[in-house]
Amino acid sequence: QSATFADGSPRKTIVILGSGWGSASLLKNLDTSLYNVVLVSPRNYFLFTPLLPSTPVGTVELKSIVEPIRSIARRAPGEVHYYEAEALDVDPQDKTVKIQSVNKDQEYTLDLKYDYLVYGVGAQPTTFNTPGVYENASFLKEISDAQEIRVKIMTAIEKAATLSPSDPERQRLLTFVVVGGGPTGVELAAELKDYVDQDLKKWMPGLSKEIKVTLAEALPNILNMFDRSLVEYAQDLFKQEKIDLWLNTMVKSVDKTHIRAKCGDEMIEVPYGVLVWATGNAPRDVTKNLMNKLEPQDSRRGLLINEKLQLLGAEDSIFAIGDCTFYPGLFPTAQVAHQEGEYLAKALKKIHGVDQLKWQIAQAAEEDKQMLESRLDKLQGDFEHFKYNHMGALAYIGKEKAIADVSFGQSQYKLAGSFTFLFWKSAYLAMCLSFRNRVLVAMDWCKVYFLGRDSSV
Ligand code: FAD
Ligand code: NAD
């Protein structure tokens, strides 16, 4: 796109970092003809994270929950320039961002100048510096994590099958432990147990009975963001389905084969075959660097923003959205990031109007300036704050059951069971970013219903 509009006014540059929930929603809604739009992300696709826990065991295929970023950009009214790269450093003074290619066949670093930066790099899994986690556990954040978990499960099962049932090594290999009783850990434990009971049981009836799925949670209960009654429903179902629930259990260290945890006042040591770590989020290194450059940024939980999603300390040029931010009452969820992206698309349209008017004022004859300035005041006073509309929380808890804490208008509903699972399915289908994803996910579910899961590596 040309650097100026037909009237000679400059076309400003927006650099968007990330291709996750926040940035993809912005890109989908932004009038890209108003700006030079540059997107930087190491991932050339959007990932529909709510169905990621279904992928390691093959309930949903990974290809079904990704949407190429080019396909989103193609539908935008103006051009979008994409770099398959990661941001290394942001210089808020100089308004530049240093990026580095992640494509090994095409190495480069570049300094990109921006007028506006939309910072949406998400967060990384936290380990709370628990020794041995990075070396031995898998996370569940990216596609590569789901693939790694699948390989580890299949490898453990095949190795165990070669050992005698009395061999303690066989028992170790068949112990799958998930640490963290938030929704990620709960949904993954539920999917693992479904796979063992519904599919593996058919091919390896003896071995499948020996598999233990365990969920360890430091607090007295799982799923803290849900209503007490739903938490109890989920915990009862886990007990019924023989998912070992270790509550009040804080994992303290991990090695290749064992977990050490504080369970009440006692220290326990438990062997494991596959370990998945799901204890929440921490800021990425590039975010920590940015925090250190701006005086008002004094929270360790994420970038501080105001009610217009402007970054404190760089309000004139940087917006931050999604999991990389911290704002009281806004949780690190897809729902929040998605709504922030939508809001920002509208805000950037207004900002374009303001910038155009400022340019016209600079060009205008003295006698026209006053009229234009009063229009500018009105436009600037028109900026709404971001208002989050919480639609509720949903979680899959296994055996074709789900829980939902949902709001419709002023009413709150607490739902649990098989009908809630159908609601969960339709809500997630509706949330899919594209028609293609919707069709593929629906086909995966049908396939599993009639033919079972395809979990071969
Ligand atoms: P992300 O979606 O994580 O995207 C960040 C983007 O930034 C990615 O494209 C990444 O590649 C890119 N990036 C990373 N580093 C850099 C860099 N240095 N430079 C440039 N780009 C970079 N929330 C719900 O509301 N409902 C759910 O059911 C739900 N289920 C979930 C299930 C799982 C397994 C997980 C892990 C999360 C789930 N969440 C759910 C939370 C939700 O996924 C996050 O809140 C959401 O992804 C946040 O969006 P984001 O845009 O901030 O970050
Ligand atoms: P979380 O922060 O929600 O939960 C992490 C859990 O790990 C906490 O309950 C914590 O007490 C526990 N924990 C921490 N350290 C531990 C240790 N050493 N030993 C044992 N337990 C430990 O993390 P999450 O589940 O990854 O979710 C991250 C975000 O994504 C949340 O905002 C969540 O709402 C969102 N999410 C939503 C859904 C959904 O709505 N269905 C699904 C997945 C994620």
The dihedral formed by the CA atoms of 337, 23, 279 and 273, expressed in degrees to the nearest 10: 140
pLDDT at 104: 85
Predicted confidence (pLDDT) per residue in 171-204, tens digit? 999 999 999 999 999 999 999 999 999 999 999 9
pLDDT at 383: 83
The dihedral formed by the CA atoms of 124, 440, 430 and 347, expressed in degrees to the nearest 10: 50
Instruction: Tell me how crowded residue 15 is: count the other CB atoms within 10 A of its CB.
Output: 27
Predicted confidence (pLDDT) per residue in 139-179, tens digit? 999 999 999 999 999 999 999 999 999 999 999 999 999 99
Predicted confidence (pLDDT) per residue in 331-388, tens digit? 999 999 999 999 999 999 999 999 999 999 999 899 889 999 998 998 888 789 999 9
Is 195 within 8 Å of 454 (Cβ atoms)? no
Residues with CB under 6 A from ligand 1: 17-23, 40-43, 49-50, 52-53, 86-87, 120-122, 140-141, 184, 284, 286, 322-324, 332-335, 337
Here the ipTM equals 0.98
pLDDT at 411: 85
Residue in 127, 141, 217, 246 to alter for ligand 2 test, most ligand atoms within 8 A of Cβ: 217
CA atoms 302, 304, 305, 307: torsion sign = positive
**How far apart are the CA of 141 and the centre of ligand 1, in A?**
8
**Which atom of ligand 1 is nearest the CA belonging to 321?**
52
Instruction: Tell me how crowded residue 295 is: count the other CB atoms within 10 A of its CB.
Output: 8
pLDDT at 448: 95
- pTM above the 0.90 mark? yes
The answer, yes or no, to whether residue 457 has pLDDT greater than 70, is no
Mean pLDDT of 97-112: 94
Mean pLDDT of 417-441: 95
Single-letter amino acid code for the residue at 274: V
